[in-house]
Amino acid sequence: MTAMAESDLRILANPNDPSGAGLPSQGTGYDHDSLGLFQQRRSWGSAVQRMSATESTTLFVDALLTIPNWAGQPPWRAAQLVQKSAFDGRPTSANGYSAEVGENYLRQTDRAAGVLAVVERDASRLDCGASDVMPRGDSASHGLPEGYALPPDTSQQAATAIAFALAQLGKPYLWGGTGPDQFDCSGLTQAAWQRAGIPIGRTTWDQLRDGAPTIEAALVPGDLVLIPGSQGSLAAPGHMGMYLGHGLVIHAPRTGDVVKVTTLSAFTTSGVSGLRHIG
């Protein structure tokens, strides 16, 4: 969404910054000394960094993660807090007299969602950076394979917790959400195990200490899988999901997404912070 607004998803050179002249580009921009997908100025980093799709995205995400409660913001407002464009909510000639914070990014939300849909659909056969989403046969399944069934030796309490979690498929993510209509990752697992009669902590950090430790080879349905996520680390996980058996995990991913199912291997690509057996 941000890159579409800034560069129409092109890596742009700029004659005002000759250091980028010899680097691969897809066009030319003229905004101050801005370069690349996100039109980042010299203070962001070197020309090599700003004109690399990977490095410039890392610069953008690093800046995003410094913003308190960034995930609780509408995406276009979060983008504005990073980019500090002319669309700051104060109507001027520079922003077409717009009073909407981040309206230039807001205009790109539908296009961005369309690109994301293609990436998600093709993730099973293309290495296009969407390994954290599982291809789905139809939009209503939210990643749950057709014919999914619990392993026969699943405990009754785990079966209850999983049935509750699966009933939430498609519900939107909300930071701090504990249901019934919106969930964050730990809110979903807490509510699921509460339905099964087992209280666990509210946060990811709490649930890292709930139950008993286990190992991947011994995972059973209902176990909690904790990972660094986008804002944590191996020592302090920032995201989590619930194991469903058959190499699947259900989780509430992020703002703008919904409760869905992914593969365990995709879910743990950034490492495993903890595996907890609850009941």
Catalytic residue chosen out of the listed positions 32, 128, 142, 185: 185
Give CA 45 to chain center in angstroms: 25
Query: Is residue 128 annotated as a catalytic residue, yes or no?
Result: no
CA distance 71 to 65: 9
Distances (CA, A) of 36 to 24, 28, 69: 10, 9, 27
Query: Is residue 251 annotated as a catalytic residue, yes or no?
Result: yes
Q: Which amino acid is at 155?
A: S
Both tokens of residue 226? 């904790």
Taking the CB of residue 113, how many other CB atoms lie within 10 A of it? 11
CB 66 within 8 A of CB 82: no
- Helix, strand, coil share of the chain (percent; to 5): 35, 10, 55
The number of residues in the chain equals: 279
Distances (CA, A) of 190 to 180, 199, 268: 12, 7, 20
CA distance 53 to 56: 5
Query: Is residue 185 annotated as a catalytic residue, yes or no?
Result: yes
Q: Helix or strand or coil: residue 84?
A: coil
Catalytic residue chosen out of the listed positions 142, 246, 251, 277: 251
77: phi then psi, degrees, rounded to nearest 5: -75, -40
Catalytic residue chosen out of the listed positions 32, 142, 239, 277: 239
**CA 131-132-136 angle, 5° bins:** 85
CB 155 within 8 A of CB 162: no
* Catalytic positions: 185, 239, 251
